[in-house]
Amino acid sequence: MPKDAIVFVDEAYAEFSGVSLIPELERLPNVVVGRTFSKAFGLAGLRIGAITGHPDALEPIRLAVPVYSVNIAAVVAVQAALQDLAYMEQYKAEVEESKTRLYAACDRLGLRYWKSAANFVLVNAGERAERLAHGAAARGIYVRNRSKEPGREGCLRVGAGVVAHTERCIDVFEEVLCGAE
């Protein structure tokens, strides 16, 4: 670990993975951990998160952050979110169930995938990627088409959130890949 540099660890998906460096920060004075309310708490777009680290590491950041950097709508939303952690736990459970169902669907459809610690899954549809992405979009299901990106040929990033949405996504995948032309 470089001694004269600050290392930023992005924990945007930590609620889903259950893994965090925060308990170790006491012995890592040059590490700063970033968390967001955009993912597990469903507050994307409100631009609210938190950083945690040794006071010496945080001080220069504190000096650089403008006053009023957090907007009032975000403050109200975070207070409400923190008073309803059961909602976040419920969403986490839905994500786990969605991933399980998506993996099973990929196995049935002969699609490779990487097990995910987040709320999305990278699926390798190979030659079928374009057809799957376009066919799904035409049916109202949007997946991120990564198939043209270096190292991710044939890959789609599929969201795995609310189970009812995942079920619809799986139905559409089956229709596009197995349905009669």
DSSP the chain: --TTS-EEEE-TTHHHH---SGGGGGG-TTEEEEEESSSTT--TTS--EEEEE-HHHHHHHHHHSPTT-S-HHHHHHHHHHHT-HHHHHHHHHHHHHHHHHHHHHHHHHT-EEE--SSSEEEEE-GGGHHHHHHHHHHTT---EE-TTSTT-TTEEEEE--SHHHHHHHHHHHHHHHHS--
- CB 79, min distance to ligand PLP, A: 17
Nearer to ligand PLP, 39 or 128 (CB): 39
- CB 39, min distance to ligand PLP, A: 6
- CB 114, min distance to ligand PLP, A: 16
Nearer to ligand PLP, 154 or 159 (CB): 159
What are the φ/ψ torsions at residue 6 (nearest 5 degrees)? Answer: -95, 130
For residue 53, the number of C-alpha atoms closer than 13 Å in the C-beta half-sphere is 23
- CB 2, min distance to ligand PLP, A: 22
- Strand 120-124, strand 49-53: pairing: unpaired
- CB 5, min distance to ligand PLP, A: 20
Nearer to ligand PLP, 36 or 124 (CB): 36
Binding site for ligand PLP (CB under 6 A): 10, 12, 36, 38-39, 44, 49
Nearer to ligand PLP, 30 or 38 (CB): 38
Nearer to ligand PLP, 38 or 52 (CB): 38
